[in-house]
Amino acid sequence: MVNFIWVPIVVGLLAVLFAAYLVSYVLRKDRGTPEMQKIANAIFAGATAYLNRQYRTIALLSIVVGLVVAAALAFLGQGSQADKIDLAWHTAVAFLVGALCSGISGYIGMYVAVQSNSRTASAARRSLGEALVVSLRGGAVSGFLVVALSLLGVSALFLLFGGYVNAGHTPSLLVGFGFGASFVALFAQLGGGIYTKAADVGADLVGKVEANIPEDDPRNPAVIADLVGDNVGDCAGRGADLFESTAAENIGTMILGATLYQATGNIGWMLFPLVVGAFGIIASAIGVLYVRASNVIEPDKAVGRDPSQIAMNQLNIGYYITCIISVIGIFLGSYLLLGGNAVPANYSIPAWVWYGLAGCVGILLSVAFVFITQYYTAGTWRPVREIAESSITGPATTIISGITIGFECVVMPALAISAALGLSYFFGSQVQLPVELQRLGVINVSGIFGTAIATVGMLMSCAYVLTMDTFGPITDNAGGITEMSGQPEAVRQITDALDSVGNTTKALTKGYGLGSAALAAFLLFSAYLDVLYGFKHDATVYRVDIANIAIFIAALLGLTLIFFFCSLAIRAVGTASKRMIEEVRRQFREMPNIMADDPADRVDPDYARCVDISTNGALRAMILPGAIAVLTPIAVGMILGPQAAAGMLMVSTMGGIVVALFLNNGGGAWDNAKKYIESGFLRANVKGQVVSRTDPEGIVLGKNSEAHKASVIGDTVGDPFKDTAGPSLHVLIKLLSTITLVLAPLFYLLHG
């Protein structure tokens, strides 16, 4: 059983080698025409310049926070002075390693993504299949590095911190790794989200609405900043988000597993998330390798079929293959690691079967989130069509309709999360507790471990899902490069089809990220109580009484934090986009040759100035909301006590999940309503009444129509919702848990 620790280490190293192979595959492709390379170079320069500045800022903040946390634990922690110092240096090292791994995975993934965009555009000149494979494998570099470095970091620290010598205590020394990952993820996601939406809003409102020029038109001064933003927001930001999800899930499950290890002597309870995570990497690699150019039907051979649907079908098949192999992996991992334990199960069914079923619940939840997100954000379903149709009567009704859909869309995901938690708890609770834990008033540790396994199961496909997410900005950039370099219509049809698929996959990843955050947050809440009370599992100390005034106050503050954090994030986008709009208007006004009809008389806009506005706006604006997110749980725990911190965690997690669902899906629906109109799917008669797409009397309300302009305004409102505040909440609700986990000994000492 002890040798199983080498499984995640070996598979993690193989995943890094697999990512290196993917990098080699992508970089061997040609970069296209000189015009394509010129645009791609500008995107690359802007993205790397921003990330270099951002990560320097994050690195300095990380060092300061790491030292402060170490000092606090060393002087104010529990136990003897030697115990305090031991906990302090372990936590500080783990924090810095987690921050470093998170930064490396996001940076390398973004680097390869911006190297893939022109290669995808060039491949589109030859075939849809080749362009699909190049963009997917470019995105896979980020996906596999994120999961591999998370797995390697936790596994290596477990061994270095003496995992087998004091296995029951070691997981609590790893929580700093999750805190470091969360800390970097918050600033990376928040800063990237502010950057990309400041550019996007400026490009859309001035370019599309005022100047009536197409999206990604080279005459738009903000277009390069917009393309850069796709990478720093969706590649680096989302990569850091899911890195911390996998890290926090592994550590939280190991902390809960330490309880059962101490009762049964089976270390498999703690190694389970690492080994099953390794199986998930293998499953994801098989899913990515399934998508090959030879499997794709080219548009000229599929007359009447939508090229975007052809490409999406290939990605879906790869995802389903990943999920099916993950089901096999979850049962195999349960059998190998939990099958030999001394814990009996109900109904004469082995314990590993019950836990395998709990893991399948998590896998099914990921599939459910894919379908739910598609329903609310894809143009083929009612919500998007409803918003598009409301745009006929102007921006006000477009915004009202989008807000309505946003409030509605929280219902099905919340029901799915609740069902997953309830089912996985039920399956886990069918495994009877060891005799050592069967006493009056004990909480159901086995049931809670079932929810942890569901989280493990959901995150098994993380590498593939993150691959699809990074695929989005690559294809978005490829579409912009194709249009700006003046490629033929046939090439643009292929990149437009892939861009459409990329918009869908980015929306799906947000749903997946939130679902995993919801399960991980409950897992980390349980782990917090374990660490706080020394694994006593006495129901009298695990009860969080909301009627207690301190706990009620903390819960109210936790919910308020969610709304105030969103306010700061969205305000930052508004402030930066205002500067962007003013700059784009200035250039159109003072440089009229930008819009010259004759290309010979036309001059290039000052793209660098717009990139600089987004960069400065994002770096300045990310500090305040990030600082408030870090300091609030610390203040609550120190002033109101550890039980109050638990109450804050409960309510802020629930509020964060619901608000993030509203922001993500509402914003995505606004975005795709605009694209629905741009695709020519909205038709109305002379009275302005919506008619069928097949009605010959219908008038197409496409680009530059009043309905389209209204939809652009709706999309502009939704942009900071879905790409800044919403994804940042995923990180926030896990950051609150990891901070309280790290500082639980301090809270306990101050309040007893």
Arithmetic mean of pLDDT, 264-273: 86
- Lowest pLDDT segment from 466-470, 530-534, 542-546, 607-611: 530-534
Arithmetic mean of pLDDT, 502-515: 81
pLDDT at 291 over 60: yes
- Parent domain of 103: 2-751
Arithmetic mean of pLDDT, 593-601: 75
In eight-state DSSP terms, residue 431 is: B
- Lowest pLDDT segment from 74-88, 326-340, 352-366: 74-88
Q: What does the alpha-carbon distance between residue 479 and residue 496 come to, in Å, rounded to a whole number?
A: 6
- Under the banding of pLDDT at 50, 70 and 90, the label for residue 440 is very low
So what's the pLDDT on residue 89? Answer: 87
- Lowest pLDDT segment from 10-19, 478-487, 538-547: 538-547
Arithmetic mean of pLDDT, 604-626: 84
Largest CA distance in the chain: 85
- Under the banding of pLDDT at 50, 70 and 90, the label for residue 437 is low
- Lowest pLDDT segment from 368-377, 433-442, 687-696: 433-442
pLDDT at 280 over 60: yes
Q: What does the alpha-carbon distance between residue 493 and residue 503 come to, in Å, rounded to a whole number?
A: 15
- Under the banding of pLDDT at 50, 70 and 90, the label for residue 752 is low
More confident residue, 236 or 568: 568
- Under the banding of pLDDT at 50, 70 and 90, the label for residue 342 is very low
Tell me the sheet residues that pair with 442.
538
Arithmetic mean of pLDDT, 630-647: 90
Q: What is the pLDDT of residues 60-103, one digit of tens each?
A: 988 998 888 888 888 766 667 777 788 788 888 999 998 898 88
Number of domains composing the chain? 1
Arithmetic mean of pLDDT, 615-635: 87
Arithmetic mean of pLDDT, 426-444: 65
More confident residue, 241 or 39: 39
Q: What does the alpha-carbon distance between residue 76 and residue 71 come to, in Å, rounded to a whole number?
A: 8
- Under the banding of pLDDT at 50, 70 and 90, the label for residue 137 is very high
Q: What is the mean pLDDT of the chain?
A: 84
- Under 8 Å between Cβ of 43 and 228: yes
Q: Which residues contact 29 (CB under 8 A, 6 or more apart)?
A: 119, 122, 123, 134
Q: What does the alpha-carbon distance between residue 130 and residue 266 come to, in Å, rounded to a whole number?
A: 48
Arithmetic mean of pLDDT, 702-707: 81
So what's the pLDDT on residue 436? Answer: 56
Q: To the nearest whole percent, how much of the chain has pLDDT over 90?
A: 25
Quote the pTM value: 0.88
From residue 713, how far is each of 212, 391, 569 by CA, in Å? 14, 10, 19
Q: What is the pLDDT of residues 140-194, one digit of tens each?
A: 998 898 899 999 999 999 888 877 667 667 777 888 888 888 888 888 888 888 8
pLDDT at 714 over 70: yes
So what's the pLDDT on residue 439? Answer: 47
Q: What is the pLDDT of residues 466-504, one digit of tens each?
A: 899 888 889 988 888 898 888 888 888 888 888 878 877
Instruction: Identify the three-state secondary structure at position 463.
Output: helix
Kindly provide the b/e burial profile for residues 37-69, where b requires at least 16 CB atoms within 10 angstroms of the residue's own CB.
bebbebbbbbbbebbeebbebbeebbeebbeeb
Instruction: Identify the three-state secondary structure at position 684.
Output: strand
- Maximum average pLDDT range among 83-97, 395-409, 483-497, 692-706: 395-409
More confident residue, 435 or 167: 167
Q: To the nearest whole percent, how much of the chain has pLDDT over 70?
A: 91
pLDDT at 695 over 70: no
Q: What does the alpha-carbon distance between residue 315 and residue 321 come to, in Å, rounded to a whole number?
A: 10
So what's the pLDDT on residue 441? Answer: 45
Closest CA to 453 of 544, 538, 541, 526: 526
Q: Give the neighbor-by-neighbor strand order of the sheet with 699-700.
A: 690-691, 683-684, 699-700
Phi, then psi, of 442 in degrees rounded to 5: -75, 145
